Structure 1
Amino acid sequence: MRIKLLSGLLLAGAIGLALHAHAEPAHMHVEPAHAGRAACTGEAPTPTVVLATRGGARYGTMQYAGGEALGPKEIALTFDDGPDPKTTERVLDILDRHCIKATFFMVGWYAKARPDLVREVAARGHTIGTHSWLHPNNLRHLPLKDAKREIARGFAAVEEALAAAPPEDQARLAPFFRFPGLNDSAPLMKWLAARNIATVSCEFGADDWLRISAAEVKRRALANIDQLGRGILILHDTKPHTADMLPDLIVALRKRGYRFVQLVPESDARTLAANAPDPLLGNPRTVQ
């Protein structure tokens, strides 16, 4: 499973990959694109799971022994590679209708291109992490100086996109980083740790980077989740078939007794990051 996801993520994240067309079977319920924000009804607000960031904690047992953060039957939805003007709002609308808060790991170049979408994700109450500037899958093989610059530019782009947002929305940007392709390195994690940035990996994915149907993405997600019974799921808000299958996945998981949780940082995490030497993040504006 780990080998499959890592190899898939190596292919999935490169900037400029085309979004693939696909046909869906008749039984797959597809919610319309941009159906509009809907109030959460019938479900309690998403519980939060607080992640410590001091000293660069690492989460996700696919890569890190002892990186388990969630309890039995808890699932954290995470979305990589956005924001995407074609699909991110659709994913947000689905999450709204199903009363779920998620975590979005954003690519800096896309955040700079569409700061309005970054602000929209924050305004809807989701956690935001970063995913580098241009999603280089060879990040750990770049010269260390260049790799650090990739990470720093990603944080700076997302923070800049939120500069005009209300303070409470600025605070949605967490000291969370996910390596492109999950290709971490000891020197880079040491550098992040010195800046109190947590590395967030996963327990499983759904192979939504592949040219497969929405139904197959859902099937693989359920199979991987049921194998472990808890954990962080990687999806991509750049993929139309991910949005297509998301409502059915949510319903299926709830029927199986799973509950969704939102990953959030400790209350002082931004202060810890801002006070670190050569920080990657500043403090959000103080609420007046």
Structure 2
Amino acid sequence: MKSVLAAASMLAALFCASLPARAQNPACEQETSVVTLPTKGGPAYGGMQYPRSAGLGLKQVALTFDDGPNPDTTPLILDILDRHCVKATFFMVGIYAERHPDIVREVAARGHTIGTHSWSHPNNLRHYSPANAQSQIRRGFDAVETALASAPAADRERLAPFFRFPGLNDSKTLIGWLGERNIATFSCEFGADDWKSISSAQVRIRALRNIAYVGRGILILHDTKPRTAAMLSGLIEALRADGYSFARLAPEEGARALAAAAPDPLIRPVRRADAPSEPGATLGAALKPSLEPQTALQ
């Protein structure tokens, strides 16, 4: 009971502290550095699993958040990032994007990159039949696009041809299938174990330790975890004090159009308000949910 009350108090304190920062921080002197990445052919990034890194500089970290959007924690994390003038990448789960489209639009409006993380986060996606695995990925993209359908064109373009496998449990076959559609796969260089039942202080310590050991790269966090929101401000401050800077991952110019032009694409072109629509095009169309996550989200 005490732990529940403590967690509630922590969230309340974070929420109150974040209230003045609902809009992007006008005091930011400069934007987070942007690292643009090729997506043609579906390269896989992240030294934890793949030979190819995202090409970040020494002591440069890209913050990424999985499993949201979550109405209890994602807004807190957005406000913390704003206060520290940091942009990140959010890999969203389709069912939550469908349930909370306003938060999807808020992430885009705040200037972050959005990737997808499947429809319902099955950790054993590699063991699904090809048809079911592909449906999981496709429905994830559809849900995020539907959530962004009413947003300005610049915000709709925040959805990148980026995908991260749930639990990082990839397969060569699915990576190849994504590659045929010019969708890049993302792993990471380090994590912080924030999905485990550990304290926020432990999450921060593990993140700092792992980052220091590697020196640069993509950090995987989860915007569904109160412990992550609780330690994020301190983590950013500690990294900057140690000479680190932050980068936002983004697709190189034309990557979205390239993915949209692929056979059987997973992502649609962004149509401007003054552009004629194709007959029968339904930007907001998506499959209705028929299942809940089969395993606990990490």
Provide TM-score, normalisation by structure 1. 0.88
The Cα of 1:31 is off from its aligned counterpart by 3.7
The Cα of 1:45 is off from its aligned counterpart by 1.2
State whether residues 89 and 112 of structure 2, in contact with CA within 8 Å, keep that contact through their aligned partners in structure 1: yes
- CA-atom RMSD in angstroms: 1.6
2:47 pairs with 1:77: no
Q: What is the alpha-carbon distance in structure 2 between the residues aligned to residue 54 and residue 238 of structure 1? A: 31
- Partner residue in 2 for 1:136: 122
Change in Cα spacing, 1:40 to 1:256, as seen in structure 2 (3 Å) is farther
Tell me the SS of whatever aligns to 2:160.
strand
State whether residues 36 and 250 of structure 2, in contact with CA within 8 Å, keep that contact through their aligned partners in structure 1: yes
The Cα of 1:43 is off from its aligned counterpart by 4.5
Change in Cα spacing, 1:207 to 1:165, as seen in structure 2 (3 Å) is same
Tell me the SS of whatever aligns to 1:163.
coil
State whether residues 70 and 224 of structure 2, in contact with CA within 8 Å, keep that contact through their aligned partners in structure 1: yes
- Partner residue in 1 for 2:32: 46
2:106 pairs with 1:106: no
Q: Which among 37, 54, 68 is matched to residue 22 of structure 2? A: 37
The Cα of 1:41 is off from its aligned counterpart by 2.6
Change in Cα spacing, 1:102 to 1:72, as seen in structure 2 (3 Å) is same
2:101 pairs with 1:115: yes
State whether residues 108 and 156 of structure 2, in contact with CA within 8 Å, keep that contact through their aligned partners in structure 1: yes
Q: What is the alpha-carbon distance in structure 2 between the residues aligned to residue 182 and residue 22 of structure 1? A: 33
Change in Cα spacing, 1:214 to 1:140, as seen in structure 2 (3 Å) is same
State whether residues 132 and 180 of structure 1, in contact with CA within 8 Å, keep that contact through their aligned partners in structure 2: yes
2:133 pairs with 1:147: yes
The letter of the residue matching 1:271 is A
Tell me the SS of whatever aligns to 1:104.
strand
The letter of the residue matching 1:275 is A
Runs ≥4 residues deviating over 4 A = 20-24
Provide TM-score, normalisation by structure 2. 0.85
The letter of the residue matching 2:79 is D
Change in Cα spacing, 1:22 to 1:129, as seen in structure 2 (3 Å) is farther
Identical-pair percentage: 62
Deviations 1:75-132 (A, max 9, x none): 0000000000100000000000000110000000000001000000000000000000
Q: What is the alpha-carbon distance in structure 2 between the residues aligned to residue 221 and residue 186 of structure 1? A: 29
Q: Which among 230, 244, 255 is matched to residue 230 of structure 2? A: 244
State whether residues 237 and 243 of structure 1, in contact with CA within 8 Å, keep that contact through their aligned partners in structure 2: yes
Tell me the SS of whatever aligns to 2:63.
strand
2:50 pairs with 1:55: no
Q: Which among 244, 250, 253 is matched to residue 264 of structure 1? A: 250
Tell me the SS of whatever aligns to 2:209.
helix
Alignment of 1:23-34 (within 5 A): 31-32=14-15, 34=18
- Partner residue in 2 for 1:283: 269
Q: Please list every run of 5 or more consecutive structure 2 residues that lacks an aligned counterpart in the other structure.
A: 8-12, 275-298
Q: Which among 196, 204, 210 is matched to residue 210 of structure 1? A: 196
Give the number of equivalent residue pairs. 264
The Cα of 1:23 is off from its aligned counterpart by 5.2
Q: What is the alpha-carbon distance in structure 2 between the residues aligned to residue 122 and residue 144 of structure 1? A: 31
Q: What is the alpha-carbon distance in structure 2 between the residues aligned to residue 287 and residue 76 of structure 1? A: 32
Q: Which among 260, 264, 269 is matched to residue 274 of structure 1? A: 260
State whether residues 59 and 243 of structure 2, in contact with CA within 8 Å, keep that contact through their aligned partners in structure 1: yes
Tell me the SS of whatever aligns to 2:64.
strand
The letter of the residue matching 1:240 is P
Tell me the SS of whatever aligns to 1:261.
strand
Q: Please list every run of 5 or more consecutive structure 1 residues that lacks an aligned counterpart in the other structure.
A: 1-19, 25-29
